[in-house]
Amino acid sequence: MSRIVLTNMSVTVGAVDLSDHITSVTIETTVEAVSTTAMSSAGLTSQIGGLKTNTVTLDFHQDFAASNVEVTMFPLIGTATTVLVKPAAGATALTNPLYTISDVLVTSWTPINGGVGELSTASVTYPCGAVVKTIV
């Protein structure tokens, strides 16, 4: 397998392809470590996996034009949506898996963020439900 430099990710939010306005995506799954440490643990802690927490972080270039970032995201505040992410545009494959992130709860949105002379951007992290990986 070859290493990959991300230059052409495919990112769809609520069915709308916003790839050309997204600069960074992070999908993270964490598992709670539940202690099973007991007296017979030989002085070591031990754990088993507990509840999973999935989050997705998206960094946007803000754009107020029709059918663009703001008009797509603003109506989603407080609702759950679906985010689809692929490392590269094009067909889904073993080397280009599709991550379907369901029940992404839009808990916040920053329509205006930036100072004078700066590019208007928005960076959000949302809790979500299942993250399903598809390779075909």
Partner 1 sequence: MSYKNTSDREVCGKKPGESITDKELADFGANIDALVESGTISTSSASFKPVVNESGA
Q: Which residues bind partner 1 (CB under 8 A)?
A: 12, 14-18, 20, 66-68, 71-72, 74-76, 79, 81-82, 84, 100, 102
Shortest distance in whole angstroms from residue 96 CB to partner 1: 15
Which residues share a beta bridge with 131? 101
| 71 three-state secondary structure | helix
Shortest distance in whole angstroms from residue 14 CB to partner 1: 5
Q: Which residue lies nearer to partner 1 by CB, 47 or 108? A: 108
Shortest distance in whole angstroms from residue 75 CB to partner 1: 4
Q: Which residue lies nearer to partner 1 by CB, 36 or 79? A: 79
Shortest distance in whole angstroms from residue 118 CB to partner 1: 25
Shortest distance in whole angstroms from residue 7 CB to partner 1: 19
Report the relative pairing of strands 47-61 and 98-105 from DSSP bridges: unpaired
Q: Which residue lies nearer to partner 1 by CB, 100 or 113? A: 100
Contacts of 65 (CB under 8 A, 6+ apart): 71
In our burial notation (b when 16+ CB lie closer than 10 A, e otherwise), range 59-86 reads ebebbeeeebbbebbeebeeeebebbbb
Q: Which residue lies nearer to partner 1 by CB, 51 or 66? A: 66
**CB–CB of 58/124 below 8 Å?**
yes
Q: Which residue lies nearer to partner 1 by CB, 6 or 77? A: 77
User: 107: how many CB neighbours lie within 10 A of its CB?
Assistant: 11
